[in-house]
Structure 1
Amino acid sequence: MQESALTDLLSSRSGLAILALPSTYLELLTDELCAMPDDVLSRVRIVGPPRGSVPAELTHLWMPYDLRFDGEGSPDPGTRGDFAQRAARHFAEEVVRRVPYATPADHANMVERCLEPLSPSGHPRRLVGTDAELIAVIRELLPKSGGRSGETLRLLRRHAGRACEQGRFRRLFAAATQGELVR
């Protein structure tokens, strides 16, 4: 039987393999993961997808990051699009760094203890604005964001409390940084 590229990669290395996966990618890898030898699979930790999207055969490897990780007091707030990566970074820095050779159950318990004091965020009510209003706010935020687009969008949403879809933001950010006025 020919092993998969992922199995080959994980078999050729020692130590933990942290897979930062949204549910769609986990779905693509499920058959490959379930076919791995137990000694390889036992070193895998799955971080990112919601519990309900993890197949029963892999739930023992899932780390319980949930909406609390994005709640009030989150150690690494961000967008849903980068949730898996942020959670994996937290897992590596705060859990694995302390106990690199724990069982999946022990790692999951440590994650639970990290998230226990946090509460899930509600859906924030953000103010909608005209293009001109949002450009003015973006310009105010540029010094705080170092002129970085992603950081400016995060500040616009989280600190300025403004609603702005990414495609619209891209256009407004370009206008704000190029000195254009949009009416």
Structure 2
Amino acid sequence: MTMGAVMAHKAIVVTNCTNRKRQSGVGVVALAAVETSGPLATVAARWAKAVRKARPSSEARDVYMGRAFTEAQRVTATLKGTLHIISAGLGVVDAADRIPSYDLTVSEGTNSLKPLLIQLGKEPSDWWAALTAELGGQHSVPALLDRHPDTLALFALPGSYVALIAQDLASLTKTQISRIRIVTSDHGRTFLPDNVRHVALPYDERLEGSAYAGTRTDFAQRALRHFIEVLGGHRLSPEEARATVANAMRNLKKPAVPVREKKTDAEILALLRKNWHRFDGASTRLLRYLRDEELVACEQGRFRGLWCELQQELDTKG
């Protein structure tokens, strides 16, 4: 059996962790509670100690929320494969692993690593190297690929998580690289080391002109769904995959972006409050309502904070 034939029937999906998590507020391991003085390796050691000390609460698949994670799960089910998560706080974890409640991200937001990395003059990949060294090599990308030999590994990651695992990607062997495909944005591809650029797929914003439109935060996972469901990409060689994606993008047109009005937090909260029951409080639908019906400019992180504030207010009244 050829490698191509094996990969057509055997695949894993690798996605990123999300800021939205189902977890109790009790016993959450957060960067704010860890001493961050000293070199990065020392901070990583303290973080790893806190993570190991925490009691695992739920399987990873039941913790992460949001469209990006749901899309990755959907592709995994289509391929009858397994799902794996790149976690800024836990390294590589399997969807079936029981993990502790934690709050740490390489993206913007509360408990973000960015301020610490800037302060120390370090890159996200430096944190990843220090973290996986402390947690054990089994939490690295090369170890994941070694555990799944002769399997196609489909990585769907935003730029911030490509930057996080860049050193791991640079360390891969040619054999390992031949059986991975990387789906990310134009921006995400700028973080890729040279050795894996040829297995990155040329998806771009023209995808928004298809039935797979969405938000920037779930771009990679939506593109992966398109790659599998529309193009049957898991059956293609790296060269065929790149050419097929490029051709699909040429047949799509990026939709015109409407001009949206800036509003204050109070004004946005008033709109959300008025339409909360209309959309059953669903955050994705409310964000689409704001942007598409009211033509309000609201960045996703800002919207998420306002939505949580309103949800807490309504729960208190409720």
Please say whether Structure 1 and Structure 2 have the same fold, judged by a TM-score greater than 0.5. Answer: yes
| Superposed counterparts of 1:69-148, under 5 Å | 69-70=207-208, 73-95=209-231, 98-129=232-263, 134-135=268-269, 137-138=271-272, 141-142=275-276, 145-148=279-282
Is 1:34 aligned with 2:170? yes
Provide TM-score, normalisation by structure 2: 0.46
| Distance in 1 separating the partners of 2:250 and 2:274 | 36
Per-residue CA deviations over 1:22-46 (Å, capped at 9, x if unaligned) read 2232223223223222222111111
Per-residue CA deviations over 1:31-72 (Å, capped at 9, x if unaligned) read 3223222222111111113244433322111101111123xx
Per-residue CA deviations over 1:122-177 (Å, capped at 9, x if unaligned) read 44311234666545643565466442113211231134322224435643675489
Residues 141/116 of structure 1: CA separation in 2 closer, same or farther (3 Å cut) = farther
| Distance in 1 separating the partners of 2:226 and 2:274 | 30
Report the aligned-residue RMSD.
3.1
**Partner in structure 2 of residue 7 of structure 1:** 142
| Distance in 2 separating the partners of 1:132 and 1:33 | 44
Provide TM-score, normalisation by structure 1: 0.74
| Distance in 2 separating the partners of 1:40 and 1:54 | 15
**Partner in structure 1 of residue 286 of structure 2:** 152
Residues 94/176 of structure 1: CA separation in 2 closer, same or farther (3 Å cut) = same
Aligned to 2:200, which of 62, 77, 94?
62
| Distance in 2 separating the partners of 1:176 and 1:17 | 38
**Partner in structure 1 of residue 306 of structure 2:** 171
Once structures 1 and 2 are overlaid, which stretch shifts more, 22-31 or 60-69? 22-31
Identity %: 33
Residues 141/119 of structure 1: CA separation in 2 closer, same or farther (3 Å cut) = farther
Residues 103/69 of structure 1: CA separation in 2 closer, same or farther (3 Å cut) = same
Kept in 1: contact 2:287–2:303 (CA 8 A): no
| Distance in 1 separating the partners of 2:169 and 2:310 | 46
Structure 1: tracts of 5 or more residues without a match: none
Once structures 1 and 2 are overlaid, which stretch shifts more, 18-27 or 133-142? 133-142
Kept in 2: contact 1:136–1:176 (CA 8 A): no
Structure 2: tracts of 5 or more residues without a match: 1-136
Residues 22/90 of structure 1: CA separation in 2 closer, same or farther (3 Å cut) = same
**Partner in structure 2 of residue 49 of structure 1:** 185
Instruction: Name whichever structure is richer in strand by fraction.
Output: 2
Kept in 1: contact 2:170–2:193 (CA 8 A): no
Residues 35/175 of structure 1: CA separation in 2 closer, same or farther (3 Å cut) = closer
Question: Partner of 1:46: helix, strand, or coil?
Answer: strand
